[in-house]
Structure 1
Amino acid sequence: MQPDFVIIGAMKCGTSTLATQLGQQDGIFMTDPKEPNFFSDNDQYARGREYYQELFTPALPNDIKGEASTHYTKLPTYPETVSRMIAALDQPKLIYMVRNPIARAVSHYIHEWSTGVIQSDIETALENDAELVDYGCYGRQIMPFVTAFGAENIYLTSLEEVQADPQTALAGVCRFLGHESAVKWHEEQAQMNRSAERIRKFPMHGLLFDNPVARAARRALVPQRLRDKIKQSRQMSDRPEMSEQSKVRLQGIFAKDREILAGIFPTHSALQLCYPFVDDE
């Protein structure tokens, strides 16, 4: 058993929300875990195709089956993704979700800061952590999939489009997948965990904070005021702002990459919605 579609990214562009919304629709099945990262991560791929296929066995016979792994569009970090997909999948439908790449880079930085991967300020990170920029070069990331599977099998959407009209955006994705039943956007699901990325996690975070036994003990033994102070120390109080110099540098990089995206999807609304810093006239 294999997926009918795959959400392939991009990271920090709303793919988790989209996957959750699709999974809420009758007739659409999403894997658990949401991000198998099977074709990208060597340790996951080593588990074998049978493991991957079993992720879809809970689906009902007529379900449209999908998974969502943002690692699939993380070049050059995961260079074997496309070749592995070609060998395993028979013309899957692919969904690629993008957003303003400047905003995506900031969100990516916050994510890496919250998990403790990046310790520096955003200016230093933009100089030293290439993936903050690389993963937002959407044209470069999607081109290997276009070559392998054809542009007609790729649905491009954007966080901006979803935010502007979530119901219509979801319906468009479902039409692409061949889902003929009525669809409904569940706003309560979309609101969940939107602030979680700003909480810094550290080694043993899950054991000390997410574990129900530890949580109960903490509430019983640690005063609320102290718990609040500790929580605030692990939160990013303000969204970081990159310097004007960095912004101009990144705008140049992303504007050049946009030309690749425009060559593939020449009339797509994302070309305007996600690149307000590019003047086509």
Structure 2
Amino acid sequence: MTLPNFICIGAQRAGTTWLHDCLNEHPEVYVPEKKELHFFNSNYSKGIEHYATEFERSNPGHRAIGEVTPNYYHDIDALKRMKDTIPDAKIVFIIREPVARSYSHYQLLSTTRCKGLSFQEAMAQVPIISELSLQGKYIKNVLSIFPKNQVLICLYDDLEQKPHDFFKNILCFLGVNEYFTPSVLNERVNRIIFPNLQNAMDKIGLKFVIEMIKKTPIGALIKKKYNESGRKSVSLNQKAYKNVFSSDVTLIEELTGFNLENWR
């Protein structure tokens, strides 16, 4: 029975889809084609044998076997189950500047829980958005369960600015060839383009059509426009919300040794 020796646990809206796609190309890494298995939070009752079937296509050449489920980081029960099941697994946790993460989460929910709400209204009325941006709180939980030497905390800022170095750092942590460069390294994978259409297509089994569009020049232009508008909105809201997350940012600095002055 094969179980993972690493898991990327989050954060949500912090580049985990990009990481999954990069890892999926690495010849020494095995991740299931399906991202987000949700075993330790939603499917634990199905049993370890069921979980192991997700990794049965791995082979001896795969030195790192794992999965990416960004909902794990904020579920302490899932983390404890993970510790009980795969106690020596390496944990990757990507964290993102909290206002930017919150805004991206707001965009994700723009056709559901946040439909018709401004970002300001969503921050006030949908607590999960700001709650999941309190990443220091969740780093503390992770480090209370797993030894620090098994946990790699990464900054989304580095992914944006130096994707090659960011990915190399993760590969070194996983103990695989650090010089491999995936074809998608400099691409931005954005799952929330065409949210209404994507949800509808997914329900009828045609989600792959949207995925194909995303990889075309037209999809690239839409992503660029989407990301630019998002950055402008985050910039406008940065000062208004920085105090909401100030103490949590300080906690992250204390736990990691990072200098996050640019988050203040």
Instruction: Tell me if both proteins adopt one fold, taking TM over 0.5 as the criterion.
Output: yes
Aligned counterparts, 1:95-114, within 5 A: 95-114=92-111
Any conservation in 2 of the 1:123–1:243 contact (CA below 8 Å)? no
Aligned equivalent of 2:245: 254
| Structure in which a larger fraction of residues adopt helix | 2
Any conservation in 2 of the 1:118–1:125 contact (CA below 8 Å)? yes
SS in 2 for 1:141: helix
Distance 2:163 2:207 in 1: 34
Residues 1:90 and 1:242: Cα distance change in structure 2 (over 3 Å): closer
Q: TM-score, normalised by structure 1?
A: 0.77
Which of 113, 128, 133 aligns to 1:131? It is 128
Distance 1:27 1:243 in 2: 39
Residues 1:252 and 1:18: Cα distance change in structure 2 (over 3 Å): same
Distance 2:177 2:207 in 1: 41
Distance 1:2 1:248 in 2: 44
Residues 1:208 and 1:86: Cα distance change in structure 2 (over 3 Å): closer
Q: TM-score, normalised by structure 2?
A: 0.81
Is 2:151 the partner of 1:154?
Answer: yes
Aligned equivalent of 1:52: 51
Aligned equivalent of 1:39: 40
Any conservation in 1 of the 2:10–2:95 contact (CA below 8 Å)? yes
Distance 1:179 1:135 in 2: 31
Q: CA deviation at 1:251?
A: 1.2
Residues 1:185 and 1:164: Cα distance change in structure 2 (over 3 Å): farther
Q: CA deviation at 1:61?
A: 1.5
Aligned counterparts, 1:59-138, within 5 A: 59-63=58-62, 64-74=64-74, 78-114=75-111, 116-119=112-115, 120-138=117-135
Count the aligned residue pairs: 244
Residues 1:13 and 1:193: Cα distance change in structure 2 (over 3 Å): closer
Write out per-residue CA displacement over residues 170-191 of structure 1, whole angstroms, 9 at most, x where no aligned residue. Answer: 111111111146311424x653
Distance 2:119 2:155 in 1: 24
Distance 1:160 1:237 in 2: 16
Residues 1:156 and 1:237: Cα distance change in structure 2 (over 3 Å): closer
Distance 2:250 2:24 in 1: 33
Aligned letter for 1:56?
F
Query: Which one has a bigger Cα radius of gyration?
Result: 1
Quick one: percent identity of the two aligned structures? 18
> Which structure 1 segments of 5+ residues have no match?
214-230
RMSD of Structure 2 on Structure 1 (CA): 2.8
